[in-house]
């Protein structure tokens, strides 16, 4: 495993990627304070009731269904991120049911991260740092030098 210096300026800690645990938790705490509470973002009791009703009406993951897989949905996602627009937040046509894995990939894409879409890609717990099919690391970075992610989720090699 290749180690690099923590991304926090001035920190000499060696990490496999990103920030050391001390700076990662401090950065997350700051982001959480800036983000506001669940209730401040609209995810209060009313959302909880709407979420349950939506999952009862649409119990399967919409993204998995496109790939002809029947995966139970656990998350109600906003198709278009609402970014605080409460009309868009409550628009029924802007809601979709997703499984946790599909929701995680969609969120990473919205944040501009690369995501492996290979359903048979190995899990990091099994010792893999990257998908052997496309070279995208579990953390969303590209494993191989000289290549870049394609919009379809694959990798284009420049070698």
What pLDDT score does 134 carry?
57
Q: Is 102 exposed, middle or buried (0-12, 13-18, 19+ CB in 10 A)?
A: buried
The per-residue pLDDT for range 129-150, each reduced to its tens digit, is 556 555 555 554 444 433 444 4
Whole-number percent of the chain with pLDDT over 90: 30
The pLDDT, as a whole number, for residue 119 is: 53
Dihedral angle computed from the Cα positions of residues 112, 76, 122 and 137, in that order, rounded to the nearest 10 degrees: 10
CA angle 77, 70, 92 (to 5 degrees): 30
pLDDT value at residue 115: 60
Q: How many angstroms separate the Cα of 74 from the Cα of each of 7, 93, 98, 127, 143?
A: 33, 18, 6, 27, 30
- pLDDT, residue 146, reads 39
> What are 59-93's pLDDT values in tens digits?
999 999 998 999 999 999 999 988 888 999 999 99
The four Cα atoms 15, 18, 23, 26 give a dihedral, to 10 degrees, of: -150
**For residues 54 and 47, what is the distance between their CA atoms, to the nearest angstrom?**
10
DSSP string for 30-82: HHHHHH--TTTTT-SHHHHHHHHHHHHH--B-HHHHHTT---B--EEEESS--
Cβ atoms of 150 and 140 within 8 Å: the answer is: no
Residue 106: predicted pLDDT: 87
| Cβ–Cβ under 8 Å, residues 104 and 111 | no
Return the higher-pLDDT residue of 123 and 36: 36
User: What is the pLDDT, as a whole number, of residue 149?
Assistant: 41
Averaged pLDDT of the chain: 76
Strand partners, 155: 149
């Amino acid at each position: 495993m290749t180690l690099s210096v923590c991304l926090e300026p001035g920190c000499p800690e060696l990490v496999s990627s990103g920030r050391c645990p001390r700076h990662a938790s401090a950065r997350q705490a700051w982001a959480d304070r800036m983000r506001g509470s669940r209730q401040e973002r609209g995810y209060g009791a009313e959302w909880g009731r709407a979420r349950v009703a939506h999952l009862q009406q649409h119990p399967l993951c919409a993204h998995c269904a496109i790939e002809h897989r029947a995966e139970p949905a656990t998350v109600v996602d906003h198709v278009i991120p609402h970014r605080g627009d409460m009309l868009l937040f409550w628009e029924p046509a802007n809601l979709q049911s997703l499984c946790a894995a599909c929701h995680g990939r969609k969120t990473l894409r919205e944040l501009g991260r690369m995501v492996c879409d290979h359903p048979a890609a190995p899990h990091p717990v099994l010792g893999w740092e990257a998908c052997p099919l496309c070279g995208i690391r579990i953390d969303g970075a590209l494993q191989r030098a000289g290549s870049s992610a394609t919009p379809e989720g694959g990798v284009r090699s420049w070698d």
